[in-house]
Amino acid sequence: MADKAEIMLEIKGLDISFRSAGEMFHSIRGVNLVLRRGETLAIVGESGSGKSVTMKAAMGILPDNARINAGSILYRPEPGSEPVDLLKASPKWLRDNIRGKSIAMVFQDPMTSLNPTMTIGNQLIAAIRAHEKVSRKEAADRAVTLLEEVGITEPERRMRQYPHEFSGGMRQRIVIAIALSCNPSLLICDEPTTALDVTIQDRILELIVSLQQKRSLSVIYITHNLGVVARVADYVNVMYAGKIIETGTIFDVFYDPRHPYTWGLLSAIPDDASGEELYSIPGTPPVLSKEPAGDAFAPRNPYALEIDFKEEPPMFRVSETHYAATWLLDERAPKVERPKALNDRIEKMKKEAAEYVR
């Protein structure tokens, strides 16, 4: 973890609403996030917590009914270059300089991410020629190399095939090849393995990790799967109801979680060995058509204090890398212990990790 690396992406106070059926939904309520060059960052949270929206805003591909109320997304395309506010950049500039060229995104469902009426060769060529003035022939040669790189056999023959002729895992490899076609510096993986068979998930993760090392990519994973996070990420941001409620290194968040929501998430990881009933966080996330009073998580939080229902907690500092937004960290708060089952779990994870290293 290179703490001294320069800041590549910095999201400050991002605030986004959606208009749907005549109502405004306040989906992103002040997101702050920092990514340093070369790092791997994970954004974790339930569906609808605003993970994908945050990253789509950075690429300028929000749907038409979204409105950005406030905030900035500062991005350095090249090491040492001046940061640019992506929210203020023109759509054309974003298309020419950012999308696919500097930041690329891999979407959740490989079955629907590819154009069904275009050969995968042509889709790769279109992606390459979107940013580079090369001949079709040259682009085709590069496409073949890319397919080889992501582990597609017989790439020349495969180039002429259509998406429906590939399995889900193969399609996700192709999506990754397209995403990497113009050598981006930042790869955003939006639930890259969620739609795949369990047996394929591992291989796709391995592929992304190996490509990341080979191409020195910075990667942001958007996921609800803490298992994925544990394997790949340096830093974790836990998101709830449009806010980041805990952030830290992977060790901070997995071994010393402070927010009751993070406790719930960690307790809810399936553990085949324990044989216990799977824990699930009670209740459902709030509908953000009206502002939650106090902490958005309070109604589901068994440890909620009185103040949680009145005032939103600020980010409390736990250590230099570790912050969490819960009143439990206030010095006036009563001392609350993590549930014992979770502490046992953390001890077990530490032990397993130690064995893994050995």
Partner 1 sequence: MKKYILKKLALSVVTLLLIIFILFLLMELMPGSPFNNPKLTPEQKEALIRSYGLDKPVLQRYFLYLGNMLKGDFGISYSLSINTPVLTLIRSRLPVSMGIGVSAMLVGSAAGLAIGFLAAFHQGKAADVICMIVSVIGISVPSYIFAIALSYFVGFRWNWLPLLYDFRSPVISSVMPVLSLSVMVMSVIARFTRDEAIAVMKSDYVMFARSQGISNRTLLFHYVIRNSIMQVITVMTLLLVGLLTGSLVTEQIFSIPGIGFLLSSAITVNDYNVVITLSFLYAAIYVVARLFLDILYGIIDPRVRLGGNER
- Contact residues toward partner 1 (CB under 8 A) are 59, 61, 63-64, 95-96, 98-101, 104-105, 107, 109, 112-118, 122-123, 126-127, 130-131, 162, 164-167, 175, 178-179, 181-182
Q: Decide whether 123 or 223 has the Cβ nearer to partner 1.
A: 123
Exposure letters 208-226 (e unless 16+ CB within 10 A, then b): beebbeeeebbbbbbbbbb
CB 8 to partner 1: min, Å: 18
Separation of alpha carbons 189 and 224, rounded Å? 12
Strand ranges for 137-203 from DSSP E: 186-190
Angstrom distances, CA of residue 302 to CA of 66, 149, 261: 33, 49, 10
Strand ranges for 142-234 from DSSP E: 186-190, 218-223
Beta bridge partners of 248: 236
Identify the CA nearest to 125 among candidates 179, 178, 185: 178
Answer yes or no: are the C-beta atoms of 87 and 163 closer than 8 Å.
no
CB 93 to partner 1: min, Å: 11
CB 113 to partner 1: min, Å: 5
| Owner of token pair 């050995």 | 358
- CA 312 from centroid of its chain's CA atoms: 24
Q: Decide whether 45 or 184 has the Cβ nearer to partner 1.
A: 184
First CA to last CA across the chain, in angstroms?
Answer: 20
Q: Decide whether 90 or 280 has the Cβ nearer to partner 1.
A: 90
Residue 239, by phi and psi: left (phi above 0), alpha (psi -120 to 50) or beta?
Answer: beta
Q: Decide whether 150 or 182 has the Cβ nearer to partner 1.
A: 182
- CA angle at residue 250 from 353 to 309, to 5 degrees? 125
Angstrom distances, CA of residue 224 to CA of 143, 164, 182, 229, 250: 32, 27, 28, 9, 15
Q: What DSSP assignment string belongs to 225-287?
A: -HHHHHHH-SEEEEEETTEEEEEEEHHHHHHS--SHHHHHHHHTS--TTT-PPPP--SS-PPP
| 3-class DSSP state of 82 | coil
